[in-house]
Amino acid sequence: MQRSDDQGSLTVPVRLGERSYEVDVTEGGWDRLPGRLRAAIDRSWAGRGCRKALILTDDHVAALPYPGLVRDALESLEIETIQSVVRHGEASKGLGTAEKLFEQLVAFAADRHTLVAAVGGGVIGDLAGFVAATFARGLPLFMVPTTLLAQVDSSVGGKVGVNLPRVKNIVGAFHQPIAVWIDVATLNDLPDRELRCGLAEVVKYGVILDAPFFEELEADAGAILERRPASLRRIVARSCELKADVVSRDEREETGLRAVLNFGHTIGHAVEATAGYGGAFQHGEAVAVGMVAESRLAERLGWVDAAFTGRLIRLLERFGLPTSLRGLAPGPLLDAMARDKKNQGGRIRLVLPRRLGTVELTDAAGVEDLRSLLEDLCRPDAP
Ligand code: NAD
Ligand code: GLY
């Protein structure tokens, strides 16, 4: 359960035994960071041995105050810092960049107590996390996510990794951070399209786990789009709380529970891959059309009715997200789905809605059901 303080900051615990940590969701409030960091470092194996930190960011975020605020907090704890700035974008999330960071850590005489602080979006979090997971067999990791997507998804849960040239996120580890610090004021600088992409994941939490949260998003959409801090704090904290609950029950995606987070992602990944990464569909946009398509499939199985999908479409459109596969080629989408890592024994496995707030991982739909669905949804005159 999240708790709040008298300045309206919210704290969400992620319960993972000795790897437990807390996610602070604030607006400003950076004067509290040194105390929160000290406590988190002292709880970790690094403890008072932590004397150095590498701050990783990208060139966009380096121009904002946040890496400097993290540096000031660390230096106030007498932790020496160096900063590394990589070029923004997915291309930096690769083994080449990781190798340069390893070399930088060696030159900095880093040891097992050296902290890695990620200040940026999901690319920075995944890359910094990968470096932290592997250098010297594991360094403490501190996440300061600055995109909505990173705040509600990638900074919590411990999945870290890098891409190979043709395969996304294929080299990685589970490596939980020691703390996550989220200032929703960072979102004031975020381009609208990036905000919308994060909102697709927020809507997803409502559909898969929390009907009242979905209703809150419907009611509060205007304030969210205006980036009112109280609304942003609430939706970010609730999203983190929902994700933390899933992660604490299935940290390594072994029981199928964590897989519910992939609602919209099976068709969404296929859309993203066939349209080309960084192309017509960004990740959150692909997830939005993927959720609608997967909801249509659930309709065909008799699990939900058309009104359910209509309601989902209305909320996504309110957030300025795409909802249609019109004009895409169904064949390549199906081929990409056949390669999805959730598949087992030749059956395509998807997470489909049962009702608002409840989904199920299933292989109830066969390849022919999917082919027919995609052919219908991709028609030039499809809704
Ligand atoms: P990103 O990190 O590329 O950030 C998007 C853009 O926003 C970049 O240009 C960045 O420089 C800029 N930016 C960041 N913060 C900003 C700010 N406050 N103001 C202005 N601009 C800012 O992309 P993303 O969408 O945050 O993350 C996508 C990545 O996250 C992908 O690599 C994806 O695979 C990964 N991801 C990981 C997980 C996980 O569980 N580990 C989950 C979801 C996504
Ligand atoms: N983004 C899905 C997960 O963390 O499991």
User: What is the model's pLDDT at position 342?
Assistant: 66
- pLDDT classification of 341: cutoffs 50, 70, 90: low
Task: Compute the average pLDDT of residues 132-143.
Answer: 98
Is 157 close to ligand 2, i.e. is its CB under 6 Å away?
A: yes
Answer whether residue 366 shows pLDDT above 90: no
Distance CA 355, CA 299 (A): 11
Residues in the chain: 383
Question: Confidence band (pLDDT; 50, 70, 90) for 7?
Answer: confident
317 DSSP 8-state letter: H
For residue 262, indicate whether it is catalytic: yes
In whole angstroms, what is the distance from residue 348 CA to residue 339 CA? 9
Clarify whether 43 is annotated catalytic: no
Residue 364 — very low, low, confident or very high, per pLDDT cuts 50/70/90? confident
Q: Calculate the average pLDDT of the chain.
A: 95
- The whole-number average pLDDT for the span 355-380 is 93
* pTM, entire model: 0.96
Is 196 a pocket residue for ligand 1 (Cβ < 6 Å)? no
What is the residue with the minimal CA distance to atom 2 of ligand 2?
Answer: 261
pLDDT in tens, 268-287: 999 998 886 657 899 999 99
pLDDT, residue 37, reads 98
Looking at residue 278, its pLDDT comes to 58
Residue with tokens 């005489």: 109
Which has the minimum average pLDDT: 22-31, 233-242, 271-280?
Answer: 271-280
Domain residue ranges of the chain, discontinuous segments joined by +: 3-189, 193-378
Beta-strand pair 115-120/52-58: parallel
Question: Is the beta carbon of 194 within 6 A of some atom in ligand 1?
Answer: yes
Q: Is the CB of 269 under 6 A from ligand 2?
A: no
Q: State whether CATH 3.40.350.10 applies to domain 3-189.
A: no
Token digits of residue 184: 């929703």
Ligand closest to the CA atom of residue 173: 1
> What share of the chain in percent tops pLDDT 90?
87
Q: Specify whether domain 193-378 bears CATH 3.40.50.800.
A: no
More confident residue, 344 or 100: 100
Judge contact between 266 and 348, C-beta under 8 A. Answer: yes
Q: What is the mean pLDDT of residues 62-85?
A: 98
Helix-helix angle 192-209:306-318, to 10 degrees: 150
Ligand 1 within 6 A of 175 CB? no
Q: Is 342 noted as a catalytic residue in this protein?
A: no
Q: Is 80 a catalytic residue?
A: no
Distance 148 CA to ligand 1 centre (A): 8
pLDDT digits (tens, 9 = 90+) for 162-209: 999 988 899 999 999 999 999 999 999 999 999 999 999 999 999 999
Tell me what pLDDT residue 60 has.
98
What pLDDT was estimated at residue 311?
98
